[in-house]
Amino acid sequence: MKGLFSALLVPFDENGQIIEQGLRDVVRFNIDVQQIDGLYVNGSSGENFLLSTEQKKQIFQIVSDENKGKVKLIAQVGSLNLNEAIELGKYATELGYDSLSAVTPFYYKFTFQEIKAYYETIIRETGNDMIIYAIPALTGVSMSMAQFDELFQNEKIIGVKYTDGNFFLLERLRKQYPNKLIYSGFDEMLIYGAISGVDGAIGSTYNVNGKQAKQIWDLCQTGKVAEAYEVQHKTNDLIEKILELGLYQTLKEILNVKGIQAGTVKQPMSSLDPAKKDAVKHLVEKYEL
């Protein structure tokens, strides 16, 4: 379960329906071209929180079918509706996903004990392993070292997707829990996670730039940090441009430019401004995507 995982993009048509062949092609592109080690399915990059339960199941099924056991699969099943999270967790487990993941409950000001019970319930009902999805910038939930200590006492909680800029807490977690999986969640900070000893990374830009991300990762593993920084600088130049144009819209358009039917984003997100399409083509050429 170590290495780089793409936070999988999902192609939608103008009516918000999943483009099945497009999704299959995105899976193949990640495996065959980007050569990633795994797929993180139905996370933020998959526009998960805009989807119905049936759409989420459809995505889990298509990805599992197309993957055919080639790379590791993590199913993000987190939901404010605990019954939905359990239903999705059972479904993904039956499909053979290697682990579940779940975003911390958000919007309402849940107590830590409520958050802990949420994870324990999903684990108990599904029987699968769990990777906590910690992304305080979007959920408003920041967990302390003591709270991670309490969660990690559960052997079925095997790690965390750590999308946080608190590198002191990251260092403390790594030192205290060498046997738990820690995934870096910020693509633009991959190098910092790598030199901090994380076990891998999960990111949206790996759908189009996975090969460079693997360069950064591999260079850090062999102690070539200065060389890794040069690749990270180039990667971050690209990420800056993608963010300026619109994150998910631009990532999908990059795939469209490359002949993969990546469709558009799901409303209420806005489709890519047609005036920006030439800029996206320029990115593909300039960064040799």
Q: Does the annotation flag 204 for ligand binding?
A: yes
Q: Does the annotation flag 202 for ligand binding?
A: yes
Q: Does the annotation flag 187 for ligand binding?
A: yes
What is the chain's length?
A: 289
**Active-site residue 248, yes or no?**
no
CB 80 within 8 A of CB 105: yes
Q: Which one of 118, 119, 133, 248 is the catalytic residue?
A: 133
Q: How far apart are CA 277 and CA 286, in angstroms?
A: 14
Q: How far apart are CA 88 and CA 92, in angstroms?
A: 6
Q: Does the annotation flag 163 for ligand binding?
A: yes
- Spatial neighbors of 160 by CB under 8 A, at least 6 apart, are 131, 132, 133, 134, 148, 173, 180, 181, 182, 183
**Active-site residue 133, yes or no?**
yes
What element of type H or E holds 116? helix 112-126
What element of type H or E holds 133? strand 130-134
**Tokens at residue 201, please?**
């990374």
Q: How far apart are CA 271 and CA 155, in angstroms?
A: 43
Q: Which one of 72, 161, 180, 214 is the catalytic residue?
A: 161
Residues annotated as catalytic (active site), given as ranges: 133, 161
Binding-site residues for pyruvate, in ranges, read 202
Binding-site residues, in ranges, read 44-45, 163, 185, 187-188, 202, 204
